[in-house]
Structure 1
Amino acid sequence: MSQPPDSSSPADDQPGKNAADSQPQPVRDVLPPVQPPTAGFLLQLFLIPLVIVSIIVLVWLMFSWLVHMGSDPKQIVRDLQTLDESSWQKAYTLSNMLRNPDHEELRDDAELAGEIAAVLGEELESADASEPRIRLRVFLAKALGEFRVLGGLPVLVRAAETEREAEERHVRLAAIESIAVLAVNAGEERVRDEPGVMEALLAAAREQSEVDQTPENAPPSAAEVRSTAAFALGVIGGEAALDELATLLHDASPNTRYNAATGLARHGDVRAIPTLIEMLQPENDAALADEVSDTQKSFKRGLVLTNGLNATAELLRHSPQGDLAPLREAVEALSKADVPNAVQLRATETLRNFPE
């Protein structure tokens, strides 16, 4: 008996079926119909991100406004007149602003300099030697050095001379350094001729104490005061300053001797030569006396050698009259010594500056 047709037989085997009807349908025919976007969808796609971006921009503008408001130098000075624990940070911000090229006009603002000087003057009247108050005075002194006007110089002289507690030496050093910076900004002769400046620096250069070396974290030593004064005298120049520097070439402190020699070289004074030769010795262990770790010693050795070469080049720039042969020999030996490549190259370059 014959079997009935299998219902699972291919459609093309069934009579009445077109072969084309059995082909796969295009994808577009099986996807759901495309609907136009709804208002809710558009809201999520465009409006919500726009709101987020607007909030970010608004926050950024508010932050910029607050920063600008907090960076108004005159407002900072006014705030300093009401002292609190953050006063020294405001003074630090102020000193940084004065160093910033974007605020160049502030350096000629005599009114601002006078206001800062008034705050420092009031601070010097206080006997409070706590760390925040010392920091405040240090940064006020540093700020005054950045001006090109001399309104703050008298109070810097006072700060350089005021020491009721050992901690106040931090303020003295900052004031002495600022006098030197002010001399560069406003003119060495102008600063040198102001009343009390030379007397304060010469007194600091002769600072003495029973112990020149102090423990770590202790207030600066008398040797540090002399060294800083030597630096300032070298910047300011003048006959009295150079004669004092010549005396400091024999100081027990290497840093003081080297700052004195550098200052003399800056003005073309050949009295610096013996100490410059000392600075150019690769095995100059005396220069490392205050350093503890090998890293510190290595850094200090390179620094002294580089400073010695720079001072030598500065001396030669003045075409000094004197016997330069020993100095030339020291530079030539350094160019061949076992020292960092940068030092060797600098020594070789310095050799070219010697007269034939």
Structure 2
Amino acid sequence: MTEPANDGPDSTSLGSGANANPANSPMERPLEELPPVEPPSAGFIVQLFLIPALIVAAVIGVWALFGKLAESETDWQQLVTELGSSNEHRRWRAALGLAQVLRNQQIAPDKNGTVLAEEPAVAEALTKLLKESLESKSTLDDDIKHQEFLARTLGSLQADDIVLPVLAEAMQPDPAEDSDRADVRKSSLMSVAMIAGRHFERQAQDAELITASSEDDSAEETVTLAKPLSTPTIADESVLKQLKLAAQDEEASIRHLAAYTWALVSGDEAIKQLELMLLDADEMTRANAAIGLARNGQTDGLPVLIELLELGTQEPDRSDFQNLTTEQQQEELTKRQFEQPIILANSLRAIGSLESLLTSEQREQLKPIVETLSSEHSAANIRMQAGKLAKRFNAAE
């Protein structure tokens, strides 16, 4: 027999018999009074309205400051002056401000139609600061970072005669200096590459040497030539001398940056340097040399490109991996996860740019490698890029 439902609390919770108090019943218990309503305190109003208003005002103030910096004709002079300050905070505040000014000026010239990156006075001021800092021979971290910033900034300036000689000084190796000095050399190499890259595209367009881009190109646009430029993009002898030394440097990262830069310098000497760097022990350096040759319409690096693609199809040997130290294992993982996909993507793009120059034997050698990458590689972008190249090979048959 089903017992009647009991909607109230269990009787034992209320007591029983004479001890049960009906007044304690939930149905008859008086409603509790709500706390009295009090007006908001001044502190609450400050938190709710004033603090957000201050934040908005600060954001508007920063925006207005950078807007003023971009429009003013004289602010850059003050910033350059502060870049030479011994006060670290003033120096970096000026560095960030100047970088913002240069970016804004590249987008929109000032009222007089002048772009600061083209002003000789700006180049002279910044190169003077870098030269003085290099001559100080300081090994302090702040000074090294200051040199790195200045070296990188010079790459955005369009005053080669002023900028390149100082960049050549910053590229020089000095065994007596701290190893951190290598970062200044790398920044200088990257700036030379930026300068060479601007001239590379302009000279290629003028000479009508740019090859038609193919459908397998990624979002990253690269200029590929039908043949090397007749005139190198960099004529400064001191820079070319340091580039040759960088191509033989003990540090691999310096060498592969040198290979990348030589490709953008172009010309007969650059091609010779890139051909020599195909024999480098460092994989990234060989890759940049082979890709650089392809960018200049040369097939000499094709064997290296094929080798790099084959490496991308191979699975790592687990037993060999286990025998590595923890640090070596981390380096190997970093290489496979980050470096190798970049090398493969650039190698596939380079081979695509050389497609019309490939022999039937070279196509047959490449086809199975590319098809394996298109179906088995772990990175989706590599599979897609390799798949497009494989279709082009099949269509050409």
Q: TM-score, normalised by structure 2?
A: 0.64
1:262 aligns with 2:307: no
Q: 1:294 to 1:199 in 2, by over 3 A?
A: closer
Deviation at 1:352, TM superposition (A): 4.6
Identity value in percent: 29
Match of 2:191 in 1: 178
Partner Cα distance (1:53, 1:168) in 2: 44
1:199 aligns with 2:251: no
Asked whether the 8 Å contact 1:99–1:146 carries over to 2, the reply is no
Match of 2:123 in 1: 113
Asked whether the 8 Å contact 1:107–1:148 carries over to 2, the reply is yes
Partner Cα distance (1:174, 1:52) in 2: 42
- SS of 1:192's partner is coil
Q: What do residues 245-276 of structure 1 show as CA deviations (whole Å, max 9, x unaligned)?
A: 11111111111111111111111111110111
Deviation at 1:69, TM superposition (A): 5.6
The alignment covers a number of residue pairs equal to: 292
Deviation at 1:65, TM superposition (A): 4.4
Q: What do residues 143-183 of structure 1 show as CA deviations (whole Å, max 9, x unaligned)?
A: 01112331211101111114241221111111011101011
Partner Cα distance (2:52, 2:375) in 1: 63
Deviation at 1:111, TM superposition (A): 1.8
Q: What do residues 51-85 of structure 1 show as CA deviations (whole Å, max 9, x unaligned)?
A: 99999987666544444566743322111122322
Of 74, 77, 99, which residue of structure 2 is paired with 1:74?
A: 77
Partner Cα distance (2:57, 2:377) in 1: 60
Deviation at 1:353, TM superposition (A): 4.8
1:84 aligns with 2:94: no
Equivalent positions of 1:165-314 (< 5 A) are 165=177, 166-187=179-200, 189=231, 191-208=233-250, 222-281=251-310, 282-283=313-314, 291-292=330-331, 294=333, 297-314=336-353
Asked whether the 8 Å contact 1:245–1:263 carries over to 2, the reply is yes
Q: TM-score, normalised by structure 1?
A: 0.71
Deviation at 1:346, TM superposition (A): 0.6
Of 141, 145, 149, which residue of structure 1 is paired with 2:159?
A: 149
Partner Cα distance (1:231, 1:122) in 2: 28
Partner Cα distance (2:246, 2:372) in 1: 36
Which one-letter code corresponds to 1:91 in the other structure? A
Asked whether the 8 Å contact 1:313–1:350 carries over to 2, the reply is yes
Which one-letter code corresponds to 1:225 in the other structure? I
Match of 1:333 in 2: 372
Deviation at 1:242, TM superposition (A): 1.3
Which one-letter code corresponds to 1:73 in the other structure? W
Asked whether the 8 Å contact 2:66–2:100 carries over to 1, the reply is no
Which one-letter code corresponds to 1:236 in the other structure? V
Asked whether the 8 Å contact 1:231–1:260 carries over to 2, the reply is yes
Partner Cα distance (2:329, 2:235) in 1: 35
1:348 aligns with 2:387: yes
Asked whether the 8 Å contact 2:284–2:343 carries over to 1, the reply is no
Partner Cα distance (2:254, 2:390) in 1: 34
Partner Cα distance (1:333, 1:79) in 2: 57
Unpaired runs of 5+ residues, structure 2, are: 1-49, 110-114, 204-230, 322-327
Equivalent positions of 1:25-44 (< 5 A) are none
Which one-letter code corresponds to 1:311 in the other structure? A
Match of 2:107 in 1: 102
Q: 1:240 to 1:57 in 2, by over 3 A?
A: closer
Deviation at 1:137, TM superposition (A): 0.6
Match of 1:17 in 2: none
Partner Cα distance (1:204, 1:246) in 2: 15
Match of 1:315 in 2: 354
Which one-letter code corresponds to 1:203 in the other structure? L
Q: 1:62 to 1:204 in 2, by over 3 A?
A: closer
Q: What do residues 91-144 of structure 1 show as CA deviations (whole Å, max 9, x unaligned)?
A: 355345534543562322222112111111111111101111111111101101
Partner Cα distance (1:175, 1:328) in 2: 40
Deviation at 1:329, TM superposition (A): 4.1
Deviation at 1:324, TM superposition (A): 3.1
1:161 aligns with 2:165: no
Match of 1:324 in 2: 362
Partner Cα distance (2:374, 2:52) in 1: 61
Match of 1:37 in 2: none
Partner Cα distance (1:255, 1:137) in 2: 26
Unpaired runs of 5+ residues, structure 1, are: 1-50, 209-221
Asked whether the 8 Å contact 1:92–1:139 carries over to 2, the reply is no
Which one-letter code corresponds to 1:79 in the other structure? E
